[in-house]
Amino acid sequence: MLTRSATQQLDADDPLAGFRDRFTGDGPGGTWDDGPGRRLYLDGNSLGRLPRATPAALARVVEQEWGRGLVGSWAQWVSQAGRVGDQLAAGVLGARPGEVLVGDSTSVNLYKLLRAGVDARPGRDVLVTCADEFPTDRYLVAGVARERGLQVREVAADIDTGLDPAVLAGALDERVAVVVLSLVAYRSGALLDLAAVTAAARAHGALVLWDLSHAVGSVEVDLSAADLAVGCTYKHLNGGPGAPAFLYVRRELQDSLRQPLQGWFGQRDQFDMGPEYVPADGLDRFAVGTPPVLATAAVEVGAGITAEAGIAAVAAKGRALTDVLVQLLDERVPQVRLASPRDARARGAHVVVEHPQAWQLTQALLDRGVVPDFRTPDRVRFGPAPLYTRFVDLWDAVDRLVDVLATGAHLGYPAERSRVT
Amino acid sequence: MLTRSATQQLDADDPLAGFRDRFTGDGPGGTWDDGPGRRLYLDGNSLGRLPRATPAALARVVEQEWGRGLVGSWAQWVSQAGRVGDQLAAGVLGARPGEVLVGDSTSVNLYKLLRAGVDARPGRDVLVTCADEFPTDRYLVAGVARERGLQVREVAADIDTGLDPAVLAGALDERVAVVVLSLVAYRSGALLDLAAVTAAARAHGALVLWDLSHAVGSVEVDLSAADLAVGCTYKHLNGGPGAPAFLYVRRELQDSLRQPLQGWFGQRDQFDMGPEYVPADGLDRFAVGTPPVLATAAVEVGAGITAEAGIAAVAAKGRALTDVLVQLLDERVPQVRLASPRDARARGAHVVVEHPQAWQLTQALLDRGVVPDFRTPDRVRFGPAPLYTRFVDLWDAVDRLVDVLATGAHLGYPAERSRVT
């Protein structure tokens, strides 16, 4: 049995322990409350915590660059989306300079690259995705298929262990234009092999458009093996609620792709304001409207912390944290069933369990200061954040879960779900 | 001749004079520097000044709602885009609750509503816009026309006085699906009659999609006469660089329209995460991805000031400011030619002049603390902001312009343009 003091020893040995102080805790003045009644935030994969440096960085951009610099600050701002993109590329995505652009939402970026990918594969009439794919991805695939007269092959995936590469292989052929997949599944946390899947699709001439939302900042991503990707920055990159997303387009593909939202920031000679839209060379052609300057400043801070910690170390701690969580659940909570891959190398930094009263269990945990999230149909998702979740936090969270189940406290909550995030 | 003291008297009589102190000036601590060498910022129609209340409002959202509330704050955030939209609707747009949504960029919103409008007019094969329309609008119209196999009728417009309604009328017929027009022209400032143009298009069964970017917060807009509109919030609404834009869809049309970016925030039962995309009822179907919470908080502050001042008073001062500017230019700067409508009722809150060395003139003014912007091909644009530009600021700006032209200082600048905003 893993003891509480054993988890404390893991924290003492954790090379990333110092990074916790880069984030705002729940104590006075944003310090960390380490008392027994403290909040145990295990939802960093939904909304990451606030970095301590973010308020001052935002204030600088707001008060100095906007308030004092006014329109003259566009001299810097105009390159911000690419600069922060390059920071992501080098620090957490394994991409090259000029391959990652920050801006718009993940959904808008998915639409742009999906449409660009379809146009780059004329004559092909199939889009492939996975039945367990995140809703916005499935909906966008369905929408683009409808408007372009394409078929969708929705490949079956195990809700617990994710997509089987052999099953995917069976869905690939010369009719497939684009494959849309999450590298880390939003519910189970199942992790795919980016290079192998991309290579399998390429062998049939298809493009893979990766959604990295649950992967970026939690597992090692090597986009040098990828063609197209998008992802969000408000989870493990700690960029803030609704922070601008990013897109990646492999350098060699950029000038052969064209996205349909022909806005002025994607135009070659933007301030000539000429009569005709000519896509900018390279990555800029995937920009659309005026970029979100203030919000991108927060992304820069958040992503910078992960880059500084080193994504290899962050990913290793993510595996260690979820291994400990799985062990604690195995040993102490037989009433729930692990609904994530058991092998840490096969999952991202979150773990899901199945329980018939998952909704009520989530409410009971929230009222006891443990913050997971509910996921349909009957899952409780725990997302420890490698940069600020301690091993002992997992022990204490599981302890509260044990108590809820032992006392039946969750049965006092209505079974009917309310709107959730 | 209008004297400096006469403009000072206009300021003394200005009922909106007190609103200047709501904004950050160029003096110590953001106070207003009223000295003779002060910056004269006449580019509020490109990027509005920072409201004094914005830093604290942003800090509250960042530190309290994000830092402390964490994922639980989505209980409020989920309605933010509609709440700030309703504020815009009531305060500055003449729209009803549930008709205005904040989020995405103006360009992305244009794409969504243009595509929705085209689909709502099946069998029609023409889009109408104006040859002098803002680039992003022209580019998006061209892009949608190309992908949908439509024709574009680009109606000629006078570069100084804007689109002649009679010329537009000649381009309207039963083949027209959607007409895209700016209510206030970005270069000349020419103001169209929203109700009359919308009615003329409706008479042929066409929809008008208004771009209100240069109109919102500077002229009275009555969307009760409109079907579709978009606009930006970083100009006269002072929402900050790259602030989220807005879209308007007339209530009676909402459920019959469908936009193509099928993201999870537009889905009816979002957190059921069901297999199929079913557009939400009403306005929410025009949302796409996770909304930009931090940046929208800044929009709320900025737009609130205009609403509090009252758009009728703001628009009246806009006309008065530009009238004074035109008079000063007429009387003191015969070397430049007014390239905006002379009648204040026919223009927004900015004025453009033509000069063969417009680029060099702009650079010389910038170096002398006057901030206009250059516009192709040979225009200098002055955008006084009714909420914080004083009449005496215009006198002093024109005085510096007189000096530049008298000394030929502008001729010392290279004629070759650099990248500008």
| pLDDT tens digits for range A411-421 | 999 998 875 54
How many other C-beta atoms are found inside a 10 Å radius of the C-beta of residue B356?
Answer: 12
| pLDDT tens digits for range B190-225 | 999 999 999 999 999 999 999 999 999 999 999 999
Q: Is A377 an interface residue toward B (CB < 8 Å)?
A: no
Per-residue pLDDT at B273: 78
Is it true that the peptide bond before B279 is cis, omega within 30 degrees of 0? no
Q: Is A376 an interface residue toward B (CB < 8 Å)?
A: yes
Given A19, A41, A111, A134, the catalytic residue: A134
Per-position DSSP letters for A215-265, written without gaps between them: TTTTS---GGG-SEEEE-SSSTT---TT---EEEE-HHHHTT---S---GG
Statement: A55-308 belongs to CATH 3.30.43.10: no
Mean pLDDT of the region B321-343 = 97
Cβ neighbours of residue A393 closer than 8 Å, sequence gap 6 or more: A40, A42, A384
Per-position DSSP letters for B123-187, written without gaps between them: T--EEEEETTS-HHHHHHHHHHHHHHT-EEEEE--BTTTB--HHHHHHH-STTEEEEEEESB-TT
User: A111 vs B274: CB contact, 8 Å cut-off?
Assistant: no
Of the pLDDT bands very low, low, confident and very high (cuts 50, 70, 90), residue B270 is confident
Residue B123: exposure state from Cβ atoms within 10 A (0-12, 13-18, ≥19): exposed
The closest CB to that of B294, out of A260, A272, A298, belongs to A298
Cβ neighbours of residue A368 closer than 8 Å, sequence gap 6 or more: A400, A403, A404, A409
Cβ neighbours of residue A98 closer than 8 Å, sequence gap 6 or more: A82, A86, A251, A282, A283
What's the Cα-to-Cα distance from A248 to each of A139, A346, A362, B167, rounded to whole Å? 21, 24, 35, 45
Is it true that the peptide bond before B377 is cis, omega within 30 degrees of 0? yes
Q: φ and ψ at A101, to 5 degrees?
A: -125, 135
Give contacts of A275 with chain B, Cβ < 8 Å: 131, 138
Average model confidence (pLDDT) across chain A: 96
Tokens of B211: 């771009």
Per-residue pLDDT at B233: 98
How many other C-beta atoms are found inside a 10 Å radius of the C-beta of residue B377?
Answer: 12
Per-residue pLDDT at A274: 81
Are A130 and A155 contacting, i.e. CB atoms less than 8 angstroms apart?
Answer: yes
Architecture field, domain B4-51+310-412: Alpha-Beta Complex (3.90)
**Tell me, what amino acid is at A383?**
G
Gyration radius of chain B's alpha carbons:
22
Residue with tokens 């309207």: B172
**Tell me, what amino acid is at A278?**
V
Per-residue pLDDT at A420: 54
Mean pLDDT of the region B73-82 = 96
ipTM of the complex: 0.97
Q: Alpha helix locations (H) across A15-79?
A: 54-59, 74-77
Interface test with B, best of A109, A159, A294 (most B CBs within 10 A): A294
Are A208 and A201 contacting, i.e. CB atoms less than 8 angstroms apart?
Answer: yes
Strand, coil or helix: B388: coil
What's the Cα-to-Cα distance from B198 to each of B118, B163, B169, B202, B225, rounded to whole Å? 16, 14, 11, 6, 7
Q: What span, in angstroms and rounded, lies between the C-alpha atoms of A297 and A56?
A: 10
Per-residue pLDDT at B10: 98
Q: What span, in angstroms and rounded, lies between the C-alpha atoms of B153 and B168?
A: 10
Give contacts of B107 with chain A, Cβ < 8 Å: 261, 263-265, 288-290
DSSP A48: P
Give contacts of B185 with chain A, Cβ < 8 Å: none
Mean pLDDT of the region B311-336 = 98
Q: φ and ψ at B388, to 5 degrees?
A: -140, -5
Strand partners, A353: A338, A380
Are B226 and B210 contacting, i.e. CB atoms less than 8 angstroms apart?
Answer: yes
Active site residue B381: yes
- Type and span of the H or E element at B100: strand B100-102
Given B132, B211, B227, B284, the catalytic residue: B211
Q: Shortest CA distance to B405 belongs to which of B416, B370, B376?
A: B370
The closest CB to that of A107, out of B71, B140, B264, belongs to B264
Give contacts of A46 with chain B, Cβ < 8 Å: 71
Q: Is residue B23 over pLDDT 70?
A: yes
Per-residue pLDDT at A280: 96
- Type and span of the H or E element at A180: strand A176-182
The closest CB to that of A49, out of B70, B105, B298, belongs to B70
User: A55 vs B55: CB contact, 8 Å cut-off?
Assistant: no
Dihedral over Cα of B176, B180, B185, B186: its sign? negative
| pLDDT tens digits for range A258-300 | 999 999 999 998 878 788 999 999 999 999 999 999 999 999 9
| pLDDT tens digits for range A307-323 | 999 999 999 999 999 99
Residue A350: exposure state from Cβ atoms within 10 A (0-12, 13-18, ≥19): buried
User: B43 vs A70: CB contact, 8 Å cut-off?
Assistant: yes
Q: φ and ψ at A221, to 5 degrees?
A: -120, 130
How many other C-beta atoms are found inside a 10 Å radius of the C-beta of residue A245?
Answer: 28
Per-residue pLDDT at A136: 94
The closest CB to that of A71, out of B43, B70, B108, belongs to B43
| pLDDT tens digits for range B161-183 | 999 999 999 999 999 999 999 99
- Which residue on chain A is closest to B258 by alpha carbon? A143
User: A292 vs B244: CB contact, 8 Å cut-off?
Assistant: yes
Q: φ and ψ at A115, to 5 degrees?
A: -65, -40
Q: What span, in angstroms and rounded, lies between the C-alpha atoms of A179 and A201?
A: 8
Q: What angle do CA B325, B326, B328 make, to 5 degrees?
A: 65
Answer with the residue of higher pLDDT: B421 or A82.
Answer: A82
User: A59 vs B59: CB contact, 8 Å cut-off?
Assistant: yes
Q: Where in chain B is the domain with CATH 3.90.1150.10?
A: 4-51+310-412
Per-residue pLDDT at A275: 84
Q: What span, in angstroms and rounded, lies between the C-alpha atoms of A269 and B400?
A: 31
- Which residue on chain B is closest to A264 by alpha carbon? B136
Active site residue A403: no
- Type and span of the H or E element at B210: strand B207-211
Per-residue pLDDT at A418: 75
Mean pLDDT of the region B404-410 = 97
Give contacts of B243 with chain A, Cβ < 8 Å: 292, 294
DSSP A373: E
Residue with tokens 């008073």: B313
Of the pLDDT bands very low, low, confident and very high (cuts 50, 70, 90), residue B419 is low
Q: Is residue B94 over pLDDT 90?
A: yes
Per-residue pLDDT at A237: 98
The B residues from 100 to 139 touching A (CB cutoff 8 Å) are 104-108, 111, 131, 134-136, 138-139
Per-residue pLDDT at B163: 96
| pLDDT tens digits for range A202-232 | 999 999 999 999 999 999 999 999 999 999 9
Mean pLDDT of the region A192-210 = 98
Active site residue B234: yes
Q: Where in chain A is the domain with CATH 3.40.640.10?
A: 55-308
Which long-range contacts does B362-368 make (Cβ < 8 Å, 24+ apart)? B363/B410, B363/B413, B364/B404, B364/B409, B364/B410, B364/B412, B364/B413, B365/B397, B365/B400, B365/B401, B365/B404, B368/B400, B368/B403, B368/B404, B368/B409
Per-residue pLDDT at B420: 54
| pLDDT tens digits for range A170-183 | 999 999 999 999 99
Per-residue pLDDT at B275: 83
Q: What is the dihedral of CA B130, B132, B135, B140, to 10 degrees?
A: 10
DSSP A343: S
Q: Is B347 an interface residue toward A (CB < 8 Å)?
A: no
Average model confidence (pLDDT) across chain B: 96
Question: How distant is the alpha carbon of residue B29 from its chain centre?
Answer: 28
Q: Is B27 an interface residue toward A (CB < 8 Å)?
A: no
Residue with tokens 């933010």: B80
Residue with tokens 């879209």: B247
Tokens of A34: 């380490």
Per-residue pLDDT at B264: 94
Residue B93: exposure state from Cβ atoms within 10 A (0-12, 13-18, ≥19): buried
Dihedral over Cα of B366, B372, B375, B379: its sign? negative
Question: How distant is the alpha carbon of residue B130 from its chain centre?
Answer: 17
Q: Shortest CA distance to B62 belongs to which of A298, A32, A19, A22?
A: A298
Strand, coil or helix: A88: helix
User: B293 vs A373: CB contact, 8 Å cut-off?
Assistant: no
Q: What span, in angstroms and rounded, lies between the C-alpha atoms of B60 and A409?
A: 35
User: A242 vs B421: CB contact, 8 Å cut-off?
Assistant: no
Q: Shortest CA distance to B20 belongs to which of B319, B399, B392, B414?
A: B392
Strand partners, A47: none
Cβ neighbours of residue A173 closer than 8 Å, sequence gap 6 or more: A126, A204
Size of chain A, expressed as the number of residues it contains: 421
How many other C-beta atoms are found inside a 10 Å radius of the C-beta of residue B24?
Answer: 23
Per-residue pLDDT at B174: 98
- Type and span of the H or E element at A41: strand A40-41
Per-residue pLDDT at A346: 97
